[in-house]
Structure 1
Amino acid sequence: MRWLASAGCILLLAGCKGDSLPKARVLPGDDNPHAQNDECKDASKDPGRVTLHRLNRAEYDATVRDLLGDTTRPARDFPADDHGYGFDNNADVLSMSPLLLEKYATAAEKLVETAWSKGHLRTCVLEAANPEPCARDILSRFARRAWRRPVTPDEVNRLLRALPLAQQQGDPPEMGVKLALRSVLVSPHFLFRMEKDPASTTPRRLDDFELASRLSYFLWSSMPDEVLLQAAEQGRLRTPEELEAQVRRMLADPKAQALVSNFAGQWLFTRALESAEPDPTLYGAFNEPLRQAMRQETELVFQEFITGDHKLRDLMDAPFTYVNDALATHYGLPPPGSATPKRVDLSGHSERQGIFGHGSLLTVTSNSDRTSPVQRGVWVLEQLLCSAPPPPPPNVEGLPPPVNPHMTMKERMALHRSLPQCQGCHRMMDPLGLALENYDPIGRWRLNEVSGAPVDATGDLPDGTVLNGGADMRRFVKDDPKLPACLTEHLLTYALGRGMADTDHCAVKEIAATAEASGGRLSDYILSIVLSDHFTSRQGDPEAQSP
């Protein structure tokens, strides 16, 4: 009877396709706090509107893990998720295809069969003569958790229609129950995070169950647990005190690792490390164990920022890191005597302090055969300062070969920048990337380039400031007044699953200011977001309200 679940899925999900958005537009930072206050003093409190949000692959796998105890990661067989505004949980680009519908039906069948055989779903005994009472109990409990909200008697009655269908086919009652369970997993109430639009264009505060889902998918990339569901059922998520208590509880839970994998993995580019392929003839020291150690280093440092007392801006120059013997040797650090990563103090090795000393970032922002000051500079502008340059003009050639074999990278970049069509963007990108030239394409510290020429790691900014290597770079970025708002913008984009627009500018500034005033830790930023109108409310669809 698999056809029934597939057909039902297609009917239920018709019209639930998201529309893609254009590339994110940059929100410029304002270096004048007084100007910010004047600009935002009377700004509207429009929280914006999130498109119907399909679970992405990471969220699907985490949800069936917590719902059914399944750790097989079935979503690996699904089509890849599109990205929008830097993340793969952007609701506007998470579309639905016929292939994905089929994958959902196949996964649901396997998930239910496996869970049923393990006894995870049977809360009572299905009597052949009168299976409905037990079936109702099983389906009510399961649908409540899977749909992340209470289910109505009518909804349960519709699910129970599978019982007579099974009987008509000569199947036992358990076949009907399993079919109903599968239909729960292909319902839009499971596959999408449902939020009702307000009846008017006036913003509406989310109900407790919608808020519980926003919170759990923000921090865990998964469904609410029983503690959070019960808090929603009791109406306790309406108070800031309860929301703060839930956030702190959830950040201390191992499931908060999802913030590392899914937020930091995309914001800090550690996911991209999986596809990095340095030229083996030039950089044969790079291998799979080193790739893994680099990724673990960045993930463990960020994990400490989730639970520790560090200010978020201290990511720029954190005086500690996590390395195993192989990565320590690669970096020129004393080996910690362990094949697994250990926390090490960097007070005597300032070149490795902060994210700019991480091999993961330095590798993914390099070409296979050389460093790339452009890629490194663009990463800083986009991910830390939200001042991304415009796309390059058409028909622009790449970096030309050196005029002589002993030219430094800075000299080669200067020749490229001399082209009139290249000057504007490169004046800001290049200095930021050139300040990191002491790091080779696989993150090793160097004093000489491959050609033998001494490294010139000075970057000349348009205002005359000279960044003399990584230490100046760290100070420059950490002290930039645009940094708090940019960190907020990325975190809020991920939390909401939508990109930021002009109307969000003042909210981003306010959330950042609140977080900094509270201590500037990552938890302060998360709390400031969760307690904001942007997170707890939603705007209606103006087009749907028009006559």
Structure 2
Amino acid sequence: MRITNIIPKIFSVRGALCILMIPLILFFQNCGGVSPSLLTSRTPDSEPTSEQILDGKALYTQNCASCHGPVEASAKRTRSATQITLAINNQMEMRAIRLTQAEIELIAQVLNPTVNNPPPVTNEENRQEFACTPGQMQKTPLVKLTNREFKNALFLLLDGFSTSLKNDATLLSAIDALPSDVATENRDTLKEQSLLITAPISNALFNVAYRAGELVSGATTGLQNYPNTSQCLSAATVTQACHQSFVRELGSRAFRRQLSTTEGNAVAARIWDSTLSKTDLLKSTVAAIAIMPDFIYKIYDKGTPIASGSTVLSLTAHELATKMAFFLTGAPADATLKALADSGQILNDTVISEQVDRLLTLPGAKDMIRRFFRESYGYDVYDRLQYDSAFIGGINTTGLADVMNAELDNYFVEVVLNQSGSFLDVMTSRYTNATDARLGTIYGLSSATNTLPMERSGFLNRASMLTKRSGFTASPIKRGLHVIEHVLCQDIGLPPPSAPTSLPVVTEEVITTRLRTAKTTEVAGTSCAQCHGRFNQLGYALENFDSFGRYRTVETVYKDSTAVGQIAVDSSYNTSEINGKSALSGTGPRQFVEHLGNSDRAMMCFVKHLKRFEARVPADATANCQMNQSLKTMYGNNATQGSIVGAIKSLVLSPEFRRWNN
């Protein structure tokens, strides 16, 4: 149901407007409450039957999907029945759910990634790819603009009146007060959330919109010259006809598509109030439009079905322009894209390709690349950054995390956008533009350079990736877990309830971190060994770096903050996780990142990240055909990999990108 059909009469009184709009937004999102399941309880077996899977999916859809996305791409994959029960009992938003234990177990079963995602297949070129069923397209739940997208869209709207309005201190303060839409839950990377809107979020959005209305109502020159209003807003009072013209133009800009006279007048009629002063009417009009779902949500439902009876719609020209712009620049379509949408030329493949190239040269594309890689690989997520001063040579760590993050932000922009680099380049480049002397100390550099030593190849061997645990000893567990989950996309999940709360005591005093880790987590037959046996080896490959990210060939062993000895570092690894097939062996960080840079599994993982970033929900099996197009571009000709930019373009040029399946 669209806002033009359900918006109530808008009043100028701020409190009344807020009270009316918050329930409206929550209702539109359909995330304010859940219905108890009406299905029959069924006790699941260790291996769920097809009937149990169907029951579990139905239970999830009825109770969970409105907030966490479809089950195939749920934000809560790998959650166990115990974890779901704890969430229901402890999360305020979930206390209305009424499920039996058997029903919770059914939901947990269908959240197991293996239920919904078939294993990869080998193509005719002996490369792994996603198992693809032609004709399938992933359903995308309705998502709101992220905080940054909302800000960019609002600023563009305000620029139509005066480019100075977006600099208003009160407005900027209200935007800064928006509840964070970034999550770091359960080892997840920083990810902007766009599935859920709560009362605090909607209230904060209203405060921003109301201030925007105040600013516009006072922008005399901008109102007088506002397009397609025949300067009627310069009069002392606003007639209903003038108000209709204003709403049609403002709504077309806000909703990112041209409003017809009929639709524009329908929106205006629900806002119009002849008893209001000009200032209050304009204030209420702008505030109301700025919190309508058509503005704060990504909605692409104006196209036509791709076939008779199909629920999949082709995007209109303006919808395609909007989708491209938000994906590639984090903002609505600019003037060039809008003109191409007006003429319909944007629907041409050649024009789309040209516009992808152009958009990727804009400043917004640099921000997109930074955010995409932060989300994908989580280099800006720290456990903490606190060290003994003597251990780190007295380096001041104030602001150091930001310096480390900025190094990789610039790294990805340079390698991906400026150099049109491949995945192998991303994994092995030695480029840096870090100028902070503290990074130079960590990297052992005596002078400024743009090329780091061989052991610093790629982003995994940089300080922000290596400082995931402070203290005297590095953590191959944390490092390996991060690689297997975020570089290889293998779901490890949280420790099982049977996992010990403390590790076995190792009596040796002078022992490497690697050997201590193996003795405490890889003992055959224990509940730890099954998972740690998969990812510890990936962490061992990085043992040439201490917990502060400094290169070493020997490890200094500490006891109670006192060095008690030194022992040679062993950074060899032997694992089948890198390619998902036969075991790969190597030694040291450089060989490790080369193996990852040529790994089919790692490239498939990258494409999953790319699809998630575009759709704002994790990719499921129904997105496999679309992802294979980007994957094929990345693979190149088997001798030379294709570029990351090429993979992004392949995603946009895919038939699925130009469709809406909700």
2: CA distance between counterparts of 1:200 and 1:90? Answer: 33
For 2:513, the equivalent position in structure 1 comes to: 409
2: CA distance between counterparts of 1:288 and 1:157? Answer: 56
1:301 paired with 2:349, answer no
Give 1:323 deviation, angstroms: 1.2
2: CA distance between counterparts of 1:271 and 1:285? Answer: 20
Q: Specify the code of the residue in structure 2 equivalent to 1:239.
A: N
Change beyond 3 A, Cα 1:219–1:191: same
Change beyond 3 A, Cα 1:89–1:289: closer
SS of 2:530 mapped into structure 1: helix
Counterparts in 2 of 1:50-61, with a 5 A limit?
50-61=140-151
Change beyond 3 A, Cα 1:333–1:38: closer
Change beyond 3 A, Cα 1:30–1:89: same
1: CA distance between counterparts of 2:128 and 2:606? Answer: 22
For 1:434, the equivalent position in structure 2 comes to: 540
Give the superposed CA RMSD: 3.0
1: CA distance between counterparts of 2:128 and 2:432? Answer: 41
SS of 1:456 mapped into structure 2: coil
SS of 2:259 mapped into structure 1: coil
For 1:507, the equivalent position in structure 2 comes to: 626
For 1:139, the equivalent position in structure 2 comes to: 247
1:23 paired with 2:137, answer no
Q: More displaced, 400-409 or 413-422? A: 400-409
Q: More displaced, 109-118 or 321-330? A: 109-118
Change beyond 3 A, Cα 1:294–1:156: same
Q: Specify the code of the residue in structure 1 equivalent to 2:424.
A: R
For 1:10, the equivalent position in structure 2 comes to: 22
Contact 2:118/2:621 (<8 A) preserved: no
1:127 maps to which of 213, 235, 244: 235
1:334 paired with 2:334, answer no
1:76 paired with 2:76, answer no
For 1:266, the equivalent position in structure 2 comes to: 375
For 2:423, the equivalent position in structure 1 comes to: 312
Contact 2:477/2:536 (<8 A) preserved: yes
Change beyond 3 A, Cα 1:98–1:388: closer
SS of 1:356 mapped into structure 2: coil
Give 1:531 deviation, angstroms: 0.9
1:445 paired with 2:551, answer yes
Q: Specify the code of the residue in structure 2 equivalent to 1:394.
A: P
Contact 1:162/1:176 (<8 A) preserved: no
- Identity percentage of aligned residues: 22
2: CA distance between counterparts of 1:34 and 1:434? Answer: 34
1:460 paired with 2:580, answer no
Contact 2:130/2:627 (<8 A) preserved: no
2:264 maps to which of 156, 160, 178: 156
For 1:181, the equivalent position in structure 2 comes to: 286
2:335 maps to which of 226, 230, 238: 226
Q: Specify the code of the residue in structure 2 equivalent to 1:168.
A: T
1: CA distance between counterparts of 2:284 and 2:535? Answer: 57
Contact 2:128/2:601 (<8 A) preserved: no
Give 1:193 deviation, angstroms: 0.8
Contact 2:422/2:634 (<8 A) preserved: no
2: CA distance between counterparts of 1:386 and 1:531? Answer: 25
For 2:212, the equivalent position in structure 1 comes to: 111
Contact 1:291/1:360 (<8 A) preserved: yes
1:168 paired with 2:168, answer no
Counterparts in 2 of 1:211-290, with a 5 A limit?
211-273=320-382, 276-281=384-389, 282-283=391-392, 285=395, 287-290=397-400
Change beyond 3 A, Cα 1:52–1:465: closer
For 1:291, the equivalent position in structure 2 comes to: 401
Give 1:438 deviation, angstroms: 1.4
2: CA distance between counterparts of 1:522 and 1:31? Answer: 22
1: CA distance between counterparts of 2:598 and 2:338? Answer: 41
1: CA distance between counterparts of 2:660 and 2:192? Answer: 18
Give 1:75 deviation, angstroms: 3.9
Change beyond 3 A, Cα 1:276–1:232: farther
Give 1:36 deviation, angstroms: 7.8
1: CA distance between counterparts of 2:570 and 2:483? Answer: 19
Q: Specify the code of the residue in structure 1 equivalent to 2:626.
A: A
2: CA distance between counterparts of 1:31 and 1:502? Answer: 13
Q: Specify the code of the residue in structure 1 equivalent to 2:21.
A: C
Q: More displaced, 245-254 or 29-38? A: 29-38
1: CA distance between counterparts of 2:220 and 2:505? Answer: 65
1:475 paired with 2:579, answer no
Post-superposition CA distance 1:181-236 (Å, at most 9, x none): 11110101111111229584453322222222221221122222222222222212
SS of 1:460 mapped into structure 2: strand
SS of 2:356 mapped into structure 1: helix
Q: Specify the code of the residue in structure 1 equivalent to 2:318.
A: F
For 2:653, the equivalent position in structure 1 comes to: 531
For 2:40, the equivalent position in structure 1 comes to: none
Change beyond 3 A, Cα 1:453–1:38: closer
SS of 1:459 mapped into structure 2: strand
2: CA distance between counterparts of 1:97 and 1:325? Answer: 41
Q: Specify the code of the residue in structure 1 equivalent to 2:570.
A: D
Q: More displaced, 370-379 or 202-211? A: 202-211
Q: Specify the code of the residue in structure 2 equivalent to 1:472.
A: Q
1: CA distance between counterparts of 2:255 and 2:477? Answer: 46
Change beyond 3 A, Cα 1:320–1:403: same
Contact 1:319/1:354 (<8 A) preserved: yes
Give 1:301 deviation, angstroms: 0.8
Contact 1:58/1:75 (<8 A) preserved: no
1:101 paired with 2:202, answer yes
Change beyond 3 A, Cα 1:292–1:361: same
- Provide structure 1 residue ranges, at least 5 long, that are not aligned to the other structure: 337-342, 541-547
1: CA distance between counterparts of 2:425 and 2:375? Answer: 19
SS of 1:413 mapped into structure 2: helix
1:65 maps to which of 151, 155, 176: 155
2: CA distance between counterparts of 1:491 and 1:431? Answer: 27
SS of 1:288 mapped into structure 2: coil
SS of 1:313 mapped into structure 2: helix
Contact 1:213/1:224 (<8 A) preserved: yes
1:424 paired with 2:530, answer yes
Give 1:322 deviation, angstroms: 1.8
Counterparts in 2 of 1:180-199, with a 5 A limit?
180-196=285-301, 198=305
2: CA distance between counterparts of 1:196 and 1:501? Answer: 22
1:372 paired with 2:503, answer no
State the TM-score, normalizing by the size of structure 1: 0.87
Give 1:118 deviation, angstroms: 5.3
Give 1:265 deviation, angstroms: 1.8
1: CA distance between counterparts of 2:503 and 2:346? Answer: 55
SS of 2:600 mapped into structure 1: coil
For 1:339, the equivalent position in structure 2 comes to: none
1: CA distance between counterparts of 2:370 and 2:221? Answer: 28
SS of 1:382 mapped into structure 2: helix
Give 1:494 deviation, angstroms: 0.8
SS of 1:23 mapped into structure 2: coil
1: CA distance between counterparts of 2:364 and 2:129? Answer: 39
Change beyond 3 A, Cα 1:39–1:388: closer
Post-superposition CA distance 1:509-529 (Å, at most 9, x none): 332113433862121011011
- Provide structure 2 residue ranges, at least 5 long, that are not aligned to the other structure: 1-12, 32-65, 69-73, 79-112, 160-165, 558-565, 577-581
Give 1:104 deviation, angstroms: 1.6
SS of 1:453 mapped into structure 2: strand
Change beyond 3 A, Cα 1:121–1:102: farther
Q: Specify the code of the residue in structure 2 equivalent to 1:538.
A: W
Give 1:143 deviation, angstroms: 1.9
For 1:544, the equivalent position in structure 2 comes to: none
